[in-house]
Amino acid sequence: MKIFKSKAFLGVVCLLAAAAVAFLLLPQLYTARSSITNVVQATADIPAGTVITEDMITLSEVGSYGLPGKVVLNKDDAVGKVAAEPLYRGEYLWSSRLSDAEAYEAMENEQTKGLTDGNCLVMIELPKTSAAVASVLRAGGIVDAYECTEQQDGSVSAAKIIPSLHVYDIVNQRLESLDELDKRKKEAENDNTSYDFEPKYIVFRCTEQQAQTLMQLEREEALHLTLRGTEG
């Protein structure tokens, strides 16, 4: 036991450990630090929503040591993708900042509610004359809006005022989305909850001028809707 406690023995052990680090671990560390790889780099500022083309990017050699795993290493993994957020000249491209066209469009619609190019949302009470349409109407429906007026002789005339209106949502008296109620009822097993599926209001995505027309027709009780189909 005395030999294990001696300073000479401890010194030899320390020298052997240092030699192992110097001859085994350090070369591997230096090799890892000195190895290089190609990464994809932006050659210009790329606004969000832009489809990336080959002339917007280049390959640059960098040290591979400590390089994050999300960095794009191959041009083919970037070309054709959409910039999910602004990319700037000289930046390395990260896979988490790229998206395919469908996913980006879905993200944009979720964030903007599709309110681009001056569109807005307007909610009106469903006309009683469109009760049959309302019972099957859901978000994504496409309807035509008609103005129905009674003539002096008692006849009723109908004129199409707004074609191809996008239905953003249908809600009940408590402003609950019927689409959400459909999902909740479908997902719940043995659900005895009494859901209110009677449509009361309709939310349109439309231009400001169309919104004003719809509100006027609602006030005059002259609005009638016909279902044309659904998007997609």
d(CA 73, CA 99): 16
pLDDT tier for residue 13 given thresholds of 50, 70 and 90? low
Q: Given CA atoms 90, 92, 93, 96 in this order, what sign does their dihedral have? A: negative
Q: How much of the chain, in percent, has pLDDT values that exceed 90?
A: 16
According to the per-residue pLDDT averaged within each range, which of 12-16, 179-183, 213-217 is highest? 213-217
d(CA 214, CA 180): 25
Between 27-41, 49-63, 67-81, the lowest mean confidence (pLDDT) is in 27-41
Between 2-16, 65-79, 168-182, the lowest mean confidence (pLDDT) is in 2-16
Question: What are 82's strand-pairing partners?
Answer: 51, 99
pLDDT, tens digit (0-9, with 9 covering 90-100), for 144-203: 999 988 887 878 888 999 999 999 899 988 889 888 888 888 877 666 777 888 889 999
The per-residue pLDDT for 14 is: 65
Q: Please name the amino acid found at residue 72.
A: V
Q: What is the Cβ-side half-sphere exposure of residue 8, based on CA atoms within 13 angstroms? A: 2
Fold of 36-111: Type Iii Antifreeze Protein Isoform Hplc 12 (3.90.1210)
pLDDT, tens digit (0-9, with 9 covering 90-100), for 78-99: 899 998 888 999 888 888 888 8
The per-residue pLDDT for 36 is: 76
Both tokens assigned to 144? 């035509």
Q: Where are the domains of the chain?
A: 36-111, 119-230
Between 30-34, 170-174, 202-206, the lowest mean confidence (pLDDT) is in 30-34
pTM: 0.53
According to the per-residue pLDDT averaged within each range, which of 115-124, 145-154, 186-195, 210-219 is highest? 210-219
Q: How high is the mean pLDDT of the chain? A: 80
CB-based contact 221:127 (threshold 8 Å): yes
CB-based contact 30:11 (threshold 8 Å): no
According to the per-residue pLDDT averaged within each range, which of 4-8, 15-19, 162-166, 226-230 is highest? 162-166
